[in-house]
């Protein structure tokens, strides 16, 4: 059977984001799998968030059957998907790592679902000047032209982007909180890796999720990691995952 985590990626995630890490894994007997979200990278859009989650669940089931020591690795939006799976009684038996903070306050602040905000966010990241600013602020290892193109193409081609802004809103978050906060076993066996140089999430977001859910997740802090450790320096990132027992 295979060894390696199942990655629940962030908004606009593309397969290219893990290319450096996959190359580092070669010869280690270790592989990286990722959930192929509906509506990302040109895949067909799910008509509802329920249908979106059903497709995610199917992929989790396939991964579980093919890996000897399964582990879920979630970042950004993926951490909300992880908690949604826990609320649906899925993956409770699978240890999980959340990289960075669950974007709890970010989603709460959106209020009711607004697809237009998602469109605006996508449009902003299509602007070359904004892309350059983003690269300077959030990457410590420069991307070459092809890597950069693939990274932002993942966002631009994500037809689910505005719909997720509409579906994953403050009302959805309140429902999730109500389900999980009253059932502590649903959020067991989760640990958090905070990244000391991450400018996209912060400890206030992390603390907000802990308070809302009544969680006491073990937390470690990687002082030199930014938001994309699997791109910036994949060797230590893979080593940390292997040390987690995958």
Query: Percent of the chain, pLDDT > 70?
Result: 100
Averaged pLDDT, 217-246: 93
* H helix runs in 68-189, sequence order: 77-87, 104-110, 115-124, 128-138, 145-156, 161-167, 170-181
**Residue 28 pLDDT > 90, yes or no?**
no
Enter the pTM of the model: 0.96
For the segment 49-108, what is each residue's pLDDT rounded down to a tens digit? 999 999 999 999 999 998 888 999 999 999 999 999 999 988 888 999 999 999 999 999
Query: Percent of the chain, pLDDT > 90?
Result: 83
**Residue 132 pLDDT > 90, yes or no?**
yes
**Residue 184 pLDDT > 80, yes or no?**
no
Q: Which CATH architecture has domain 6-243?
A: 3-Layer(aba) Sandwich (3.40)
Q: What is the rounded distance in angstroms from the CA atom of residue 144 to the CA atom of residue 146?
A: 6
């Amino acid at each position: 059977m295979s060894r390696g985590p199942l990655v629940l990626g962030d908004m606009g995630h593309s397969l290219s984001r893990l290319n450096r890490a996959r190359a580092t894994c070669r010869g280690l007997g270790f592989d990286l799998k990722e959930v192929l979200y509906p509506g990302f990278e040109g895949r067909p859009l799910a008509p509802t968030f329920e249908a979106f989650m059903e497709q995610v669940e199917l992929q989790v089931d396939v991964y579980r059957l093919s890996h000897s020591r399964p582990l879920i690795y979630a970042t950004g939006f993926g951490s909300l998907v992880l908690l949604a799976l826990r609320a649906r009684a899925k993956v409770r038996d699978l240890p999980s790592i959340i990289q960075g903070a669950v974007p709890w306050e970010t989603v709460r602040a959106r209020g009711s679902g607004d697809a237009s905000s998602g469109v605006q966010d996508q449009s902003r990241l299509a602007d070359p000047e904004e892309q350059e600013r983003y690269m300077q602020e959030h990457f410590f290892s420069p991307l070459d032209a092809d890597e950069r193109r693939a990274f932002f193409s993942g966002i631009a081609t994500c037809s689910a982007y505005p719909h997720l802004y509409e579906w994953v809103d403050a009302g959805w978050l309140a429902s999730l909180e109500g389900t999980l906060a009253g059932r502590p076993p649903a959020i067991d066996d989760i640990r958090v890796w905070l990244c000391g140089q991450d400018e996209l999430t912060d400890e206030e977001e992390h603390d907000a999720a802990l308070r809302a859910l009544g969680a006491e997740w073990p937390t470690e802090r990687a002082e030199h990691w930014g938001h994309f450790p699997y791109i910036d320096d994949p060797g230590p990132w893979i080593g940390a995952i292997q040390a987690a027992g995958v």
